[in-house]
Amino acid sequence: MRPPQGCRRRGVVLGTVTLCLAAGWALQTPGGVSLVVPQPNINATVAQNILLSVEYSCRGVATVEWKHVSSWGTTKIVEWRSGNDVNISTVYKDRVTTFENGSIQLLNVGMRDAGYYFVTVTEEYGTNTYGTIVVNISEIIYEDLHFVAVLFAFLAGVSAILICFMWLCNKSLHLFQKTTTPKLTGISLRVQSSHKVLKSQF
């Protein structure tokens, strides 16, 4: 038994309206979020400031969250929503600077800051994307720097002593020449006078 003609028309109209509403909702809903990580590996030294650079784009309002994962565990660094207050964890207070493009800067890094940094950008409609940055921290070897400084100071001291010794030798040589020159002159005069006396006797 076929359904009445009016019911068929209502079904077609209802289906058409549903498709139109779905298409309109799809056009209004943001098409997802994209994230770019230009530098996925960062090498730094202790006490340096590092920039964890990312760039995200979306049509809606996004929430950015950063986490640090290392052998010491997982720590939430910061979370903020575009245009709202920034929520920084107490561990990273006064050490984190946030930027509108999703990037953060860590100040005065230490060995515990090495590890993986995960950024999550979540759109207001639920779409999200992830990025990862690996940070390697190397320690400044102060012992080597101390050894180089001590060696340089020792060489400078030896050079100064040698210069003073050469100066004293030069001064002593000049004094010796001044004191011996009159004596030699007197001896030569005596020799000449004795030669004259001998000549006069013969």
Average pLDDT over residues 158-165: 84
Average pLDDT over residues 130-144: 85
Query: pLDDT for 85-132, tens place per residue?
Result: 899 999 999 999 999 999 999 999 999 999 999 999 999 888 899 999
Annotated domain spans of the chain: 31-140, 141-193
- pLDDT tops 90 at residue 20: no
Q: In what order do the strands lie in the sheet with 96-98?
A: 50-52, 104-106, 96-98
- pLDDT tops 90 at residue 145: no
CATH topology of domain 31-140: Immunoglobulin-like (2.60.40)
Query: pLDDT for 164-188, tens place per residue?
Result: 878 888 878 778 777 766 655 555 5
